[in-house]
Structure 1
């Protein structure tokens, strides 16, 4: 009897250990893309404090993007948007109507009159304008989601804490739009 109990406990520990390893790998993947690990971790903690203060990701989504009545937020994920200037950390929102990204921090831009202004980097793509979503992985095992729009623009998102779940919800939104 004791052997069966030990075997059962060992099996549960192996399953838990596998999940813990998976979680550690997801976090490592997400943090690795930032400039410095300490700065990235501080940024993540700051972002989650903002989310709590705002009343949750749904409220942030509604505040930053025009949301029609009945549009349902399916998933919000921390990730990076790949740009020519380098990756930008932020939140990716997947809803029944749209895919939207908003940077964690504001970026500084020069205005037409020469003054500098700070704005959040935002991307909004109606789900009906997404031609396809591709899963991709590079040599270093970084996982990416490539979105290609009907007008042939492509967007690359990476550094997800839970890549699988995010891609699943994206696929769900795309299939509902068809």
Structure 2
């Protein structure tokens, strides 16, 4: 990303997610999060402290009072809560690659449809490794 574009993306990241002092956004990738309702398009943010996904469009959820409200689907995961990062591919279409994050409490998040899968995987892998050092 261009530096001015990255600054805009960093502003969006800070608006969407709580950011700790000294936390740096390393990379943002367009992709899809696999869900039981089907793939959800959005941005995967990789920072020095967390991996965070936010959907491009809002989804409808039931509020406590029963009304339907529209919210962006957000999944923040602290790097220290990530137990593993796995790669896989669609057996029928090997060009379709997936990356799966497994948390210490055994939640699994599967991301796919990256514009540049290898770069996204590399940044994510580096962020996880550097947090463990």
Give the TM-score normalised by the residue count of structure 1.
0.68
Q: Flag the structure with higher helix content.
A: 1
Matched, 1:66 2:18: yes
Higher relative strand content? 2
- The one of 97, 104, 107 equivalent to 1:143 is 97
> Normalising by structure 2, what TM-score?
0.90
Q: Decide which of 123, 126, 131 is 1:172's aligned counterpart.
A: 126
Distance (Å, rounded) in 2 between the aligned partners of 1:124 and 1:114 = 26
Alpha-carbon distance between aligned partners in 2 of 1:64 and 1:104, rounded to the nearest angstrom: 12
List alignment gaps of at least 5 residues for structure 1: 1-51
In the alignment, the residues of structure 2 paired with residue 114 and residue 68 of structure 1 have an alpha-carbon distance, to the nearest angstrom, of 34
User: Deviation of residue 116 (structure 1)?
Assistant: 1.4
Q: Does residue 155 in structure 1 map to residue 109 in structure 2?
A: yes
- Return the alpha-carbon distance in structure 2 between the equivalents of residues 150 and 112 of structure 1: 29
C-alpha distance in 2 between matches for 1:96 and 1:68: 10
Deviations 1:57-101 (A, max 9, x none): 101100000111111111100000000010000000000100000
Count of paired positions = 125
User: Which residue of 54, 57, 73 corresponds with 1:102?
Assistant: 54
Q: Higher Cα Rg: structure 1 or 2?
A: 1
Runs (4+) of structure 1 exceeding 2 A deviation are none
Which SS does the other structure have where 1:67 is aligned? Answer: coil
Structure 2 residue runs without a partner (length 5+) = none
Partner secondary structure for residue 22 of structure 2: coil
Root-mean-square deviation over aligned CA pairs: 1.1
**Which among 93, 111, 114 is matched to residue 66 of structure 2?**
114
1:8-27 per-residue CA deviation (whole Å, 9 max, x = no partner) reads xxxxxxxxxxxxxxxxxxxx
Q: Secondary structure at the match of 1:123?
A: strand
